[in-house]
C-alpha cells in the first residue's frame, strides 16, 4: 500500500496526521495517526521527523489493523530513542582519536 500525508491538526499536545492511500486500482482509504507532542519532545523526536515516522508506523501496523485511527505511542518512541542511542554507541566505538606521534626521547635522538 502507498500512503500520502494529506495534512494534520493539533489540539493542545496531540497532533493528528491524516493519510490517504491504498493499493492501485482500489478505493483509497483515510487513516489518522495521533502523536503526543510532549512525549515526542521527551524522546528527542523533532516535529519535522514525525510525518515520516508516522508513515512508517502506519505501513507496519496496517497489515495487523483495520482501524482508521492509530496512535503513535510511547512504546514506539522509546524504541526509536533506543535505536538512536545504539547507533551513537556504535559510532563512538568506531571513532578513534587521531594518532599522535610519540615525542622524541633522549634514547631515540642518539639513534637517529
Q: What is the pLDDT of residues 5-22, one digit of tens each?
A: 999 999 999 999 999 987
Cα distance between residue 56 and residue 47, in whole Å? 15
What confidence tens digit (pLDDT) does each residue in 81-91 have?
999 999 888 88
pLDDT value of position 64: 61
Angle between helices 74-94 and 50-62 (to 10 degrees): 110
**Domain residue ranges of the chain, discontinuous segments joined by +:** 2-95
Look at the pTM and tell me if it is higher than 0.75.
no
pLDDT of the residue at 112: 52
Amino acid at each position: 500500500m502507498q500512503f500520502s500525508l494529506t495534512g494534520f491538526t493539533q489540539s493542545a499536545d496531540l497532533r493528528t496526521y491524516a493519510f490517504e492511500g491504498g493499493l492501485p486500482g482500489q478505493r483509497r482509504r483515510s487513516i489518522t495517526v495521533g502523536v503526543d507532542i510532549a512525549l515526542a519532545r521527551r524522546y528527542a523526536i523533532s516535529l519535522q521527523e514525525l510525518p515520516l515516522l508516522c508513515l512508517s508506523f502506519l505501513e507496519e501496523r496496517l497489515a495487523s489493523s483495520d482501524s482508521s485511527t492509530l496512535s503513535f505511542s510511547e512504546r514506539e518512541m522509546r524504541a526509536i530513542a533506543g535505536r538512536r542511542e545504539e547507533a551513537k554507541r556504535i559510532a563512538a566505538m568506531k571513532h578513534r582519536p587521531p594518532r599522535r606521534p610519540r615525542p622524541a626521547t633522549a634514547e631515540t635522538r642518539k639513534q637517529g
